[in-house]
């Protein structure tokens, strides 16, 4: 398949995903914004005013903002990629893509980019809500903040795609969100500094990939909270490359598409 044809195929997949996201904006964009606004109102304002400053002298509202943004980004990217490709399989539309000269890398990239679009839109909405409540929110290291969000969204888009290959029902997708992603997010330091944890929980948190993602993004925004930001970025890069290779391998073997 020539490069021009691959770009056309990629554009078709991404365009279809983006149109679906925007057409169903009441389901894809509004719910994360509403739930996050409640988090900001209850934890950031009501409780945060009583807590005062936390790690690095930041206000509690500023402290939880990167964690809430990252939590919305990862859940949105995972949910979009997993549900979208699952329904393609369920409706047997995947057979048309497999019968075409479209390469596996084009299929994977198309769904990952589509999930990235939704997750970044949701992240932008959450940031807008945070800025409305706390206009003085800093941005200490823009490149680190942007890279950490992009890598985190890519990782969970890939995880969602892989899960969609194995999922037999829609419940299989929801179980991962409820029993894996949400607990890892809450244990990853969304609402508290990891340094407050005692042994062995602090050591356990170090192997939680979400703790690295949240810590790196918080460092990019506030300039504090991730002394090992280089390690966190490296962990995310390794996960991105590893999951990409795994997803392409599974597509090549026909897992969930030919079996």
SS3 sequence of 109-162:
HHHHHHHHHHHHHHHHHHHHHHHHHCCCCCCCCHHHHHHHHHHHHHHHHHHHHH
Query: What pLDDT is stored for residue 116 in this prediction?
Result: 95
pLDDT of residue 34: 87
pLDDT tens track, the chain, 259 positions: 566 778 888 888 999 999 999 998 888 888 888 888 888 878 777 776 677 677 767 788 888 889 899 999 999 999 999 999 998 888 887 777 877 778 889 999 999 999 999 999 999 998 888 888 877 888 889 999 999 999 999 999 999 999 999 988 888 888 888 888 888 887 888 888 887 777 777 777 778 899 889 999 999 998 876 557 888 999 999 999 999 999 999 998 988 877 6
Which residue, 46, 75, 77, is CA-closest to 60?
A: 46
Tokens 């198309």 label which residue? 110
Name 162's Cβ contacts closer than 8 Å, sequence gap at least 6: 243, 246, 247, 250
What pLDDT score does 121 carry? 94
The pLDDT of residue 180 is: 84
3-state class percentages of the chain: helix first, strand second, coil last, to nearest 5? 80, 0, 20
Identify how many contiguous H helices and E strands the chain contains and give both numbers: 13, 0
Give the gyration radius of the chain's Cα atoms: 19
- Both tokens of 226, joined, read 């991730």
pLDDT at 226: 59
- Please give the pLDDT value at position 3: 65
Q: Which pLDDT score, from 0 to 100, does residue 184 have?
A: 84
pLDDT of amino acid 2: 65
Is-contact 73 149, C-beta < 8 A? yes
Dihedral of the alpha carbons of 240, 178, 173, 71, in degrees to the nearest 10: -40
Residue 174 neighbours by CB distance under 10 Å:
14
b/e map 13-42, b = 16+ CB within 10 Å? bbeebeebbeeeeeebbeebbeebbebbee
Q: Facing residues of 59 across strands?
A: 53
CA atoms of 171 and 154, how far apart (whole Å): 23
């Amino acid at each position: 398949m020539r490069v021009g044809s691959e770009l056309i195929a990629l554009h078709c997949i991404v365009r279809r995903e983006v149109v679906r996201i925007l057409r169903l904006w009441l389901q894809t964009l509004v719910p994360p914004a509403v739930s996050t606004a409640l988090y900001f109102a209850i934890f950031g304002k009501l409780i945060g005013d009583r807590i005062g400053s936390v790690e690095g002298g930041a206000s509690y509202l500023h402290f939880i903002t990167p964690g809430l943004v990252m939590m919305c980004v990862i859940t949105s990217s995972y949910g979009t990629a997993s549900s979208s490709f699952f329904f393609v399989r369920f409706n047997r539309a995947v057979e048309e893509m497999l019968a075409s000269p479209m390469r596996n890398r084009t299929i994977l990239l198309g769904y990952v980019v589509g999930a990235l679009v939704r997750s970044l839109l949701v992240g932008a909405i959450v940031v807008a809500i945070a800025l409305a409540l706390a206009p003085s929110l800093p941005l200490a290291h823009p490149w680190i903040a942007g890279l950490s969000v992009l890598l985190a969204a890519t990782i969970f888009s890939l995880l969602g795609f892989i899960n969609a290959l194995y999922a037999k029902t829609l419940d299989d997708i929801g179980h991962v969100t409820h029993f894996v992603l949400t607990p890892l997010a809450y244990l990853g330091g969304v609402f508290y500094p990891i340094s407050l944890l005692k042994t062995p929980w602090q050591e356990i948190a170090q192997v939680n990939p979400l703790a690295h993602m949240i810590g790196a993004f918080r460092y990019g925004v506030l300039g504090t909270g991730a002394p090992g930001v280089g390690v966190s970025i490296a962990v995310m890069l390794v996960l991105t490359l590893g999951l990409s290779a795994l997803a392409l391998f599974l597509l090549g073997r026909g897992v969930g598409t030919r079996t």
